[in-house]
Structure 1
Amino acid sequence: MHQSPQDLRRIEALLDFYIDSGVDCFLGEEVVDWFERSRLQSSQTRHAAAAAPAGPSARRTGDEEASRGPAQDRGQAAFQPPAAAPPARAPHANPGQSAAVPDQEVIAAARDLAASAQSLDALRACLEAFDGCNLKLTAKNLVFADGNPSARVMFVGEAPGRDEDLQGKPFVGRSGQLLDRMLEAIGYDRSSAYIANVVPWRPPGNRTPTPQETEICRPFIARQIALVDPDVLVFLGAASAKTLLGVQDGIRKMRGKWMTYPAGGKEISAIATYHPAYLLRSPLEKRLSWRDFLAIRQSLSKQ
């Protein structure tokens, strides 16, 4: 079937969106509704249990037959999650092997570990040894930072993506290339800026980090900002601003407004702007980001 140039552009844009979102393969031709399948199997289990004899052995046999489901579904049973998973062990019990439970104890351990770092190298070593965040189990590399640790301006995003995970550096994919061009437009580059993320490990499939994952990683980025001690702190997107400033406004309402971020006993000038990944999807908003970057340059020239 003949495709018009407009259709081809739409298909190309959709593929770019999938790639930016971390989708790199297809798992099957048909969608499986696991929630509906689980509901049906639970209903069959209850009906079988109600019809089974009262004896202990008969109840056990009836439950086992019902849990297997209809004959046509037995080939799918291997993909079903277990009815009750064993509790995850604490991260220090077997580092790198078991998932951590994101409770207050793990968050407190992250705070103590981050506070103990007296340099950026020490902080990186702490993160490499830390097993309290489950994202570390699926990520290929720790994405700590890039740029100049002595820079006067620091940029903070939310979490690394596929390209960042492969290279171990933040903002190196398409959004990173756009950020480089934006920096160049105001006379800066990676040698005169410092770039990091709130979460230093890529979430699977580029999904949004959970609140627990973000809270576990927050002490490390807070310590990183304190050690860099920039004159200007730039939040790329609303997620990093909300995490570190505790604000609830959306990026449209927040961007372009100067705020302050407390770190190391001082107030750092802070501003939020659109994330480069958003600008790739909404290029008309670049004009507003340009205003933000001009304001950043003006602030740096005054200090």
Structure 2
Amino acid sequence: MQQTSEYFALRAALEWQVELGVDEVISEAAINRFDFPAATPKIKIGQGSNIAPVDTIPDVVPKQLAGDISALLAQKCTDLNALRDAINLFDLCALKKGARNTVFADGHAQARVMILCEPPNRAEDSAARPLVGDAGKLLDKMFQAIGLAREIDGADGLYVAPILPWCPPQSREPNLEEVEMMLPFVQRHVELMDPEVIILMGNAPCNAVLGKSGVTRLRGKWDQAYDKPVLPMLHPRALLRDPLRKRDAWADLLALKDKLS
């Protein structure tokens, strides 16, 4: 009698589950999900990357730790290709979600001069290349006047990298949190590139590298960062807005030429 009642109880329970839409049984016993600790999600480094996987980083990271994680990834990079991979796969910066491309750098790694410029605008984001359009043409003319160019191989080349690889919304100024998160990549970029001179072109690079604001006040004055001589300069976009400042830019270019010689 007891077996019969148990049979009908189980049959009723099964019919009830079928009515609810259950069409497959994956276990003979019920599973209490609260009994199992949640697995820590991981950041996945793609198989095409030439940097080692990082399997200990949770997918949800407190903002104050993001800079430590970027520093960990940056130090694992032994060449510029690895650094490009690491930046392209770094998902903790919200700017990446709104950008079309990662803008890493342009020019030649053997160049004596490395330019750290403003974050990319929309045109540069679309081209995946820093300093394009009218601003890029002006930059090329400026440095060609002292014998340097992005198209030249070797020491007389020019290497340009944005201080942040992704375009901020409406091309706004990057905030402190974004800069601090990505700064370890910038430092590693300089270490791997190992230029003789760094040009800080615009307010954002001066803020990030020197901790100083006001490029119009800082320009033309040599400073030191990453054990390199550093020269702040006006960005070509600023020169296009105010052509009278081209005289200042020419004075800075002559100071750079003198430094290199």
Q: TM-score, normalised by structure 1?
A: 0.64
Residue 251 of structure 1 corresponds to 215
Q: Which protein has the larger Cα radius of gyration, Structure 1 or Structure 2?
A: 2
Q: 2:176 aligns with which of 208, 211, 217?
A: 211
Q: Distance in 2 between matches of 1:91 and 1:294?
A: 53
Q: Deviations over 1:60-106 (max 9, x none)?
A: xxxxxxxxxxxxxxxxxxxxxxxxxxxxxx995799xxx97661111
Residue 296 of structure 1 corresponds to 256
Q: Distance in 1 between matches of 2:63 and 2:250?
A: 41
Give the counterpart letter for 1:112 in structure 2: L
Residue 227 of structure 1 corresponds to 192
Instruction: Describe how 1:79-228 pairs up with structure 2 within 5 A.
Output: 92=42, 103-190=63-150, 191=152, 192-228=157-193
Taking only the aligned residue pairs, the percentage that are identical comes to: 41
* Contact in 2 for aligned 1:164/1:170 (Cα 8 Å): yes
The offset of 1:160, in angstroms, is 0.4
* Contact in 1 for aligned 2:174/2:204 (Cα 8 Å): no
Rate the CA distance shift 1:116–1:151 in 2: closer, same or farther, 3 A: same
Q: Deviations over 1:242-265 (max 9, x none)?
A: 2112234x2122110111112xxx
Instruction: Describe how 1:260-279 pairs up with structure 2 within 5 A.
Output: 260-262=224-226, 267-279=227-239
> Runs of 4 or more off by more than 2 Å in structure 1?
90-95, 99-102
* Contact in 2 for aligned 1:102/1:212 (Cα 8 Å): no
1:237 aligns with 2:197: no
Equivalent residue of 2:166, what SS? Answer: coil
Which structure carries more relative contact order (alpha carbon 8 Å, separation 6+)? 2
* Contact in 1 for aligned 2:173/2:204 (Cα 8 Å): no
Rate the CA distance shift 1:271–1:299 in 2: closer, same or farther, 3 A: same
The offset of 1:158, in angstroms, is 2.1
Equivalent residue of 1:155, what SS? Answer: strand
Q: Distance in 2 between matches of 1:292 and 1:144?
A: 25
Give the counterpart letter for 2:217 in structure 1: K
Rate the CA distance shift 1:91–1:226 in 2: closer, same or farther, 3 A: farther
* Contact in 1 for aligned 2:105/2:130 (Cα 8 Å): yes
Q: Distance in 1 between matches of 2:195 and 2:260?
A: 10
Residue 42 of structure 1 corresponds to none
* Contact in 1 for aligned 2:201/2:235 (Cα 8 Å): yes
Q: Distance in 2 between matches of 1:91 and 1:149?
A: 36
Q: Distance in 2 between matches of 1:112 and 1:102?
A: 15
Equivalent residue of 1:123, what SS? Answer: helix
The offset of 1:277, in angstroms, is 0.6
Give the counterpart letter for 2:248 in structure 1: L
Q: Distance in 1 between matches of 2:149 and 2:68?
A: 36
Q: TM-score, normalised by structure 2?
A: 0.74
Give the counterpart letter for 1:216 in structure 2: M
Q: Deviations over 1:213-237 (max 9, x none)?
A: 1111111111101111100100001
Q: Distance in 2 between matches of 1:157 and 1:287?
A: 20
Residue 36 of structure 1 corresponds to none
